[in-house]
Structures are given as C-alpha cells and as structure tokens.
Structure 1
Amino acid sequence: MSGDEQDRAFDQIDCWFARHADRIRHSRHLKSVVTATTLRRSDGGKVRLADGPFGSESTAISGYIEIEVTRLEEAVEMARSWPFDTLVEIRAIA
C-alpha cells in the first residue's frame, strides 16, 4: 500500500469512528502479530510458551472496539459500515 493509499485508508477509518462516536466506549490498535506471545496448555497440563500469534497471520486481530448498543442489530449495522473487507467479530461483554 502506497503512502497515499494508506492516508486515504486512515481517513476512511477516522470518518467511521467520527460517525459512530456516540456508541464507541473504548478502542485500541494492537501491535503487529510478530510481537505476540502464545501460551498453549497440553492435555497433560504442561504449558508451552511460544513467540508468535495463536494462528496464521492472515487471521490476526489488529485491534478491538468496545461499543454500547441495546440490540445486536445495531452492532451488526456498525460492523457492516466498516470501510474495509475484513473479518469483524461481534461479542457481548461478560
């Protein structure tokens, strides 16, 4: 992605955040997956610590956004309006 394309992408993201600002409670961008550490526990209870992400880099989580809505449909509407073709997962907070 060229510098101009990256600038346009960030502008689209900024507009999305501005349009939904009244529902957004918290958001953070995560560092690259190369900074990840994964802990795996085997069936025998042994713990292995490994550098790297939990899965493939193509499915890495780049950040999260906490929103406040009263219905799932509102969250789906927001997710559909995200400006890029990416995977968006919606979860309720426990």
Structure 2
Amino acid sequence: MFTLEKPVTAQELTEKQLEAIKTRAIKLWGDRFWIAKLAAAYEEANGFEPKSKDPVVRRWFRDGTVPSLESFNGLLLAVGCTMAIDCPTTERIL
C-alpha cells in the first residue's frame, strides 16, 4: 500500500495503481512472463476470447495508455485483488 504524503495528480495516482498491479503480477508469475500471464488472466476473468486482449494489456504497461475504470477493475480481478480507498484525515483547526 502506498500513502499520499503529498498531493498527487490523477495521472500520478494512476501510475502508482498500475505499478501495484504490475508488482502483484510479477509476484504471481515471475519477472519474465508476468505480462503474458496477466493478459491471459485478464481475458479469463472478464470472459474474453484467449489472446484477444493481449495487445491492449501490453499497451497499458508499456506505452502509457490508461485503462478505463472497468478495465482497471478487470486487471484487479486478474491478479486476485480488490481496491481499497484510503482517505487521509484532515484536522479542522478553526
């Protein structure tokens, strides 16, 4: 889990989330085949034909293309995760 120590942009948050999915995929399938295995698991978890989404998944991690929210949730399912939302508390002074 990462913490938001300073304000981040939406793009930075997206990059951190995709990096977390990549880290989980590497833990599951190893550094050499993680992206191929992730693509296959994404297809299976979301009911797509085998090899139909492989290029799309690769673009999300190699070209900086950003998945939609639905696709991002599909990636989470592929690595056996769900999302937790962390809201930093703010103390009211006045």
For normalisation by structure 2, the TM-score amounts to 0.30
> Which of 1 and 2 has greater Rg?
1
User: Which has more strand, going by share of residues?
Assistant: 1
For normalisation by structure 1, the TM-score amounts to 0.30
